[in-house]
Amino acid sequence: MDILVIEDEQRVAELIKKGLEELGFHITLAFDGEMGKRLALTKTYDLILMDLILPKINGIDLCKEVRIARPDIPIIMLTALGTTDDKVEGFDAGADDYLVKPFDFRELHARIRALIKRNQTQNNTFSQGFILRFADLEMNLETKLVKRNDVPIDLTPKEFRLLEYMMGNSERVLSRTEIAEKVWDTFDSGTNFIDVYINYLRKKIDKNYEVKLIHTKPGMGFIFKEG
């Protein structure tokens, strides 16, 4: 597995490189956003780790550019900024996961494994042109198109992933912890970023329709159902 690490603190970058190489990964280092962008767009990697605060091109802008050119590559942001707003901004930019410094290396390894496994599973599913349908909502996992009552709905990558999980587990109460683990591949459900994204989805999926699909179960979580 080839991983690109974009980190401007050389000591931190070398420690990550050493630890991941001991686990059998091949690591390429970039020490600024411009160098990271050049490598990400010209070479093939299985996953990218990037800092949020980078010289030349910051992590948010870099993530957006990489996501456009490489829509399927898993991206984990590593940063000291850990507020809900910071995380939402990172996810909106296209990051798949967000790990706050300082972090336990075992957790980083677990998240890398989870993302690579999920990406491989999705690629196998996409090749079958799989389509999810619930009520008048339709999601095409291959073309990434979502429609309700034949009206297209524009979703960010993370909104798409959240809706995919909820549709695939309809009629079942989903706790915030489960959503954090399955959609974000993280055990961090302490902040309200999940509620933020649920609200994003409600505005796009339910706002203009009489029949609501996303419902809150107070003290329990959320459920995707008609009514």
In percent, how much of the chain has pLDDT > 70? 92
pLDDT in tens, 128-143: 457 888 889 999 988 8
Lowest-confidence range among 83-97, 134-148, 177-191? 177-191
Whether 111 contacts 97, CB under 8 Å? yes
| Selection from 89, 84, 41 nearest residue 61 by Cα | 89
143 CB-near residues (< 8 Å, 6+ apart)? none
**pLDDT for residue 154:** 94
| Selection from 165, 155, 168 nearest residue 202 by Cα | 155
* Average pLDDT of the segment spanning 155-166: 91
For the chain, which domains are there?
Answer: 2-125 (3.40.50.2300), 129-224 (1.10.10.10)
